[in-house]
Amino acid sequence: MSATIIDGKAYAAGLRGRVAGAVADLSRDGVVPGLAVVLAGSDPASQIYVRNKARQTVEVGMESFEHLLPATASEAEVLALVARLNADPAVDGILVQLPLPAQIDSQKVIEAIDPGKDVDGFHPINAGRLMTGVPGFVSCTPLGCLLLIRSVRPDLAGLDAVVIGRSNIVGKPMAQLLLGQSCTVTVAHSRTRDLEAVCRRADILVAAVGRPDMVRGDWIKPGAIVIDVGINRVPNPQAGEGKTRVVGDVAFAEAAAVAGAITPVPGGVGPMTIACLLRNTLQAACQRRGLPMPALDAA
């Protein structure tokens, strides 16, 4: 048996294209959605990620507002910037790049963002909306995972789903999204007893733990949909001394021999995160103006 490879890169490109089409329609009526990104510090990975977000924002026809602060920025400075962005009519979405420097309380900053501009979906109000089944903004990575799952199986009702990981960013919202699709959901974590057995009953398995190749092929139920959220750098001696390669949380070759469908790393979930951020920004722009949200999520 050989699994279908779920091409997140291709799906994300299609989603960005649909967002661009909707933005072009809005622009003809004088509406240009705007996304503001706040980065404090000089973390190289965050800098690259912010540059990619800005580039893709402009590519779909939106306005990109970058606010780059030094690592020494105070909590008061960040909160004051967030307050200005909340009040700025040109800004529809606000994203504060995490992690923030140690002197800044990340949760306080997240809670300061206007929930109507919280396109990352981290504000407690949006998290609560997701839990209670009320429309709001959904965290971008789990939203992308759900879109990829539904691209290979549109109707998920009644399936057993296991989410490995309980973070506020991925694990918990992922579980809520799958509950919303009428799955029976188990959230597993580092203290779950007999994790392998729990995983083997999953029709849908989402791995988001940050441990390279942790999920082995014999953990997978034959025919299951496997979504690998992990991005881990490991040594790659074949490429030379000190070189690394990126792997997921799932031992890909082993799992692909058993699963029905699986996301690769890289090229699976990763590209979906920014595409869903742009989708959420479009949603924010429409909501703020009382406009209907275009249908974007078809495969």
Q: Give tens-digit pLDDT for 64-96.
A: 999 999 999 999 999 999 999 999 999 999 999
Measuring CA to CA, which residue among 146, 144, 190, 184 is closest to residue 167? 190
Task: Between 278 and 297, name the one with better pLDDT.
Answer: 278
Measuring CA to CA, which residue among 252, 228, 215, 171 is closest to residue 2? 252
Residues 246, 159 within the same domain: yes
Residues 125, 174 within the same domain: no
- Position 298 scores a pLDDT of 55
Residue 153 lies in a domain: yes
Residue 11 lies in a domain: no
Residue type, 270: G
Specify whether 56 is catalytic.
no
C-alpha distances out from residue 91 to 34, 51, 71, 282, Å: 5, 18, 24, 11
Q: CA 25 to CA 13: how far, in whole Å?
A: 19
> 92, 120, 203, 249: which is the annotated catalytic residue?
120
Residues 56, 165 within the same domain: no
Number of domains in the chain: 2
Predicted confidence (pLDDT) per residue in 149-184, tens digit: 999 999 999 999 999 999 999 999 999 999 999 999
Residue 299 has pLDDT above 80, yes or no: no
Predicted confidence (pLDDT) per residue in 211-265, tens digit: 999 999 999 999 999 999 999 888 888 877 878 899 999 999 999 999 999 999 9
Residue 6 lies in a domain: no
- Position 45 scores a pLDDT of 80
> 97, 176, 181, 283: which is the annotated catalytic residue?
97
- Position 132 scores a pLDDT of 95
Tell the burial category of 184 from Cβ atoms under 10 Å away from its Cβ (0-12, 13-18, 19+): middle
Residue 101 lies in a domain: yes
SS3 letters for 201-266? Answer: CCCEEEECCCCCCCECHHHCCCCCEEEECCCEEEECHHHCCCCEEEECCECHHHHHCCCCEECCCC
- Position 1 scores a pLDDT of 55
Percent of the chain with pLDDT over 70: 99
Residues 189, 226 within the same domain: yes
Q: Is 125 left (phi over 0), alpha (psi -120 to 50) or beta?
A: alpha
Residues 132, 176 within the same domain: no
DSSP state of 269: S
Q: Tell me the H-state helices in 29-123.
A: 44-59, 75-87, 106-112
Specify whether 221 is catalytic.
no
Residues 259, 278 within the same domain: no
Residues 189, 232 within the same domain: yes
- Report the mean per-residue pLDDT for the chain: 95
Q: Which residues pair with 51 in a beta bridge?
A: none
Residue 212 lies in a domain: yes
Predicted confidence (pLDDT) per residue in 182-218, tens digit: 999 999 998 999 999 999 999 999 999 999 999 999 9
Taking the model in full, what pTM does it have? 0.95
Residues 146, 263 within the same domain: yes
Specify whether 120 is catalytic.
yes
Residues 33, 89 within the same domain: yes
Residues 147, 240 within the same domain: yes
Predicted confidence (pLDDT) per residue in 109-153, tens digit: 999 999 999 999 999 999 999 999 999 999 999 999 999 999 999
Q: Could you give phi then psi for residue 246, rounded to 5 degrees?
A: -100, 130
- Residue-number span of the structural domain to which 189 is assigned: 140-268
Nearest 5°: the CA angle 217, 223, 224 is 70
Residues 114, 131 within the same domain: yes
Token pair recorded at residue 58: 């402009």
Residue 294 has pLDDT above 70, yes or no: yes
- Position 114 scores a pLDDT of 98
DSSP state of 118: B
Residue 281 lies in a domain: yes
Residue 297 has pLDDT above 80, yes or no: no
Q: CA 299 to CA 285: how far, in whole Å?
A: 23
- Position 296 scores a pLDDT of 86
Residue 164 lies in a domain: yes
Within 13 A of 214's CA, how many CA atoms are on the CB side? 21
Residue 80 lies in a domain: yes
How many CB atoms sit inside 10 A of residue 13's CB?
Answer: 12
**Arithmetic mean of pLDDT, 20-38:** 96
What CATH number has the domain bearing residue 187? 3.40.50.720
Token pair recorded at residue 178: 């799958």
Predicted confidence (pLDDT) per residue in 36-69, tens digit: 999 998 888 888 888 999 999 999 999 999 999 9
Residues 254, 282 within the same domain: no
**Arithmetic mean of pLDDT, 8-28:** 97
Q: CA 229 to CA 18: how far, in whole Å?
A: 24
Within 13 A of 239's CA, how many CA atoms are on the CB side? 8
